[in-house]
Structures are given as structure tokens and as C-alpha cells.
Amino acid sequence: MKCKGKTVKHLQSFILVLACFGLLCTVQTGAQADHAQSVNIFVLRTAEQLQGPHVLTYRVAEWEQLRGRWIPFDVGYYDTGYGQDQMWFAAAGVVPAVGPRFRWEQEIYVLQEAGPQSQNRRTLWIWPVLYFQPRPRLSAQIAAYPTIPLDRAQHKSFDIDRAKVEWDATTHWRAGVGYSGGLCGGSSWHSEPFLTVTRSTRAGSFEFWLQSTPGGGQVQMRYALVRGEH
């Protein structure tokens, strides 16, 4: 119970710091962003093991907002499937480069661990996302980031969240191949390649991964709803 009390206290402090950080970013970018239309992106993600007992491996809920070339806030929640190990996160960033065939979004995330299995880990992610459009129907995307510990409970790591190439078969269907992987502490590199299919609708895009993992395999569902225009 004492450990749980400490976790709640740290989480409250973390939320207060993030609120102040978000307010500061909003004030600093307000003048530049007043004329820009807000783009809100809502993300839901989950995955389930293919082999028995078919448990959920993770869940994510996220809300990101863009205003022109600024990303004033990005907040969300992650857990390992059943809420035992949770990560609350917030971020802010900028779009340093935009072109007809290239886009670079750069964010800095701060994360605080919570939940019954929490070790009170605090983490900083330097999170770039690179988009490429070499041909009208061919696209690529890379998101790779280092984990920088903010306390002793967290270990250094480097992860590739996704590196994928996709082909637009129609205006509503997209298919491709991709790769995820990472290195944590002194462990060896793990690889998780995947096949991806995306269905775009007015209600959002539904992306499905069939992914190979060290423990067997999993199916991921990644949903995104965009309100506004880039």
C-alpha cells in the first residue's frame, strides 16, 4: 500500500508538470498557430497473440493535435493489455521539414509508469517520424526512437516502432510490408517483421498487422481518425 501511495504521488506530480509544460507550449505557439486550422488525430491500438491463450499484448489510446507546423500537445495511455503495467505519456513537437514527397515530424515524449506492477519508471523518448512519397501510390514511413531513462528503474533502449513500405491498391485499400525491432539494456536485438493491410473509410483508417514475434506471432489493429486537414 505504501508503494502504491508513492506511485500515485509521483503520477500526480508528473501530471502537474505536464500541464505546466503544455500551457507553456500553448502560450509560446499561440500567436503563430492562431491562423492555422487545428488537426486532431485520435489513435487506438491493440494486439493479440496468435498462439494460446490469445492474450492481449498491449493497448494504446492517444490524442494528438497539430496547428500548422506545431504539435502543441500529444497525450495518451499505454498498458500491457490488462492494466497491470501502465504508461501515461505526453509530448509536444514541431514539423521541421515538409515537401511534396517528404515530411518530418519531431516530438519529445515524457512517460510515467503506474499500475499494480509499476516500478515508477520515468522515461524520455526522442520520437521522429519520417514520411516518404516517392511515387503517387507508393509511400514509406519510419519511426525509430531512443529511450532515455529519467530514473534508475528505467533502462536505456532503442526501438523501431515501424519501418514500412505501402502500396495504394485503390483509394480505400493499402497494403505493404514492414519491420519493428529493438534493443533493451544488455539484451540482444529482437526483430518483429509484419505484413500490413489498411482500409480507409469516413470513420477513420483501420490498419491490421500480421506480425512475427520472438514468442510466436500476433495480430495488431491500429485505428486512426483525423479531423481537419494537414
Domain boundaries, the chain: 2-227
| Nearest one of 84, 105, 87 to 96, comparing CA atoms | 105
Tens of pLDDT, residues 171-215:
999 999 999 999 976 678 999 999 999 999 999 999 999 999 988
For the ranges 4-8, 48-52, 122-126, 173-177, the lowest mean pLDDT is seen at 4-8
Average pLDDT, the chain: 87
Q: Does the reported pTM lie above 0.75?
A: yes
From residue 85, give the alpha-carbon distance in Å to each of 88, 93, 154, 166: 10, 26, 13, 33
Q: Which CATH architecture has domain 2-227?
A: Beta Barrel (2.40)
How many CA atoms does the CB half-sphere of 82 hold within 13 Å? 7
- Torsion sign, CA atoms 213, 146, 77, 104: negative
How many CA atoms does the CB half-sphere of 46 hold within 13 Å? 10
